[in-house]
Structure 1
Amino acid sequence: MEGTLSWTFVARLADVPRLGSRVVRTERGDVAIFRTADDSVFALDDRCPHKGGPLSQGIVHGHAVTCPLHNWVIDLASGEAQAPDIGCVKRTPVHLDGDRILLGVVS
């Protein structure tokens, strides 16, 4: 990653439902912010590597999301599709600061 990483406030934890997501529009496209049952947060491009399905509309389970189009399972931490499928979704740095969700933006 080139450039300087800065953190931008995008939502409060309560704004993203448990086992759900929220879409954030960025300069490089839509990013889905996912919240798991244990309140971990992850950020991935809102596009399945298979046929471009909206991952934000998928089912979150554990630390994974299942694409709503063809049931590909994507690991939220790595962005990798689970076997037997092969592919990867671009991740975006994200972290919690108290109840604030911050997205890493390269400038």
Structure 2
Amino acid sequence: MTTQTMGYIAIGELHQFPPMYGRLVRAGQLEIAVFHTSEGELYALENRTPHAKGGTLVEGIVSGHYVYCPMRDLKIDLRDGKVQEPDDGEVRTFPVRRIGDRLEMGIPDTL
């Protein structure tokens, strides 16, 4: 098993991420969709649907700890990026941490 080191980057303040919506964050060449749930949890997923025809996730509908792809209606778990049955697929996830009102996102050093 390999361990991956993580560097954290500032992505904004909590008030910039309203509950139940996604917000686009760029990290180098990556586009990340950051979601704030009604329970106050924050999740970051690569801003792409795993569907073969592609699409973005940032405009998806958030319900609980899931986001629904706005184009294909795939149900994706925000916690692990896995598409729920009967569909399949996976989206890369990134950790988000809160320090006071400041938010940071973890990016693997190998990217």
TM-score by length of 2: 0.88
Deviation at 1:44, TM superposition (A): 0.2
Amino acid corresponding to residue 48 of structure 1 in structure 2? T
Deviation at 1:27, TM superposition (A): 2.1
Deviation at 1:105, TM superposition (A): 2.2
Aligned pair in 2 of structure 1 residues 39, 86: CA closer, same or farther (>3 Å)?
Answer: same
Counterpart of 1:57 in 2: which secondary structure? coil
Amino acid corresponding to residue 52 of structure 1 in structure 2? G
Amino acid corresponding to residue 82 of structure 1 in structure 2? Q
What's the CA shift string for 1:11-41, capped at 9, x where partnerless? Answer: 1111011100111111242001100001100
- Aligned 1:1-107 pairs, distance under 5 A: 4-50=5-51, 51-107=53-109
Q: Which runs of 5+ in 1 are unaligned?
A: none
Mean Cα displacement is larger for which, 19-28 or 66-75?
A: 19-28
Counterpart of 1:31 in 2: which secondary structure? strand
Counterparts of 2:90 and 2:3, CA distance in 1: 20
Mean Cα displacement is larger for which, 81-90 or 24-33?
A: 24-33
Amino acid corresponding to residue 27 of structure 1 in structure 2? G
Deviation at 1:5, TM superposition (A): 1.5
Q: Which runs of 5+ in 2 are unaligned?
A: none
Number of corresponding residues: 107
Moved over 6 A (4+): none
TM-score by length of 1: 0.92
- The percent of aligned pairs where both chains have the same amino acid is 38
Contact conserved, 1:2 with 1:106, CA < 8 A, in 2?
no
